[in-house]
Amino acid sequence: MEIFVADCLTVRDTPEMGRGVFTLEALDANIIIEIAPVLVLSAQERAIVEQTRLNDYIFEWGLDRKQACVAWGYASMYNHRYLSNCEYYMDFDQSIIMIRTVREIQAGEELFINYNGDWNDQSPLWFPAK
């Protein structure tokens, strides 16, 4: 599987969250803007990575969520927002994460995913979030 990142996406510094993914062009709702292959980590490897700065950039992986993965492309750079403008889908068979817009997005907007998985899931995260 090849990496696909829409040509209009870029990573920029943000005032509050370090770096994030932005769009240079307006985006329609319900379009795939990224397909990112992942490197799957075993539960044992995940435990090691969780002790490093990389812990902020991995995704839980697998039906039992015991594994983790590192996503290539920009997928690990999207910041969290509870009512996000994008959402992600995991395909465990193909070892990919897909990012899709959930509404129209204006040029210059930062793109967010909800780290809970669903774009509007308000469940508390493991860190203080907006």
User: pLDDT tens digits, residue range 96-113?
Assistant: 999 999 999 999 999 999
Query: In which band, very low, low, confident or very high, does the pLDDT at 7 lie, cut at 50, 70 and 90?
Result: very high
pLDDT at 82: 86
Which of 130, 44, 46, 58 is closest to 97 using CA atoms? 58
Q: How many CB atoms lie within 10 A of CB 46?
A: 19
pLDDT value at residue 127: 47
Query: Do residues 107 and 25 touch, judged by C-beta distance below 8 A?
Result: yes
Give the separation between CA 75 and CA 72, rounded to whole angstroms: 6
Second CATH level (architecture) for the domain 4-37+69-113:
Beta Complex (2.170)
Neighbours of 11 (CB within 10 A): 12
Cα end-to-end span (Å), the chain: 34
- Burial of residue 71, with CB atoms counted within 10 A of its CB: 0-12 exposed, 13-18 middle, 19 or more buried: buried
| Cα separation, 81 vs 123, whole angstroms | 11
pLDDT in tens, 68-93: 999 999 999 999 988 899 999 999 99
Give me the count of residues in the chain. 130
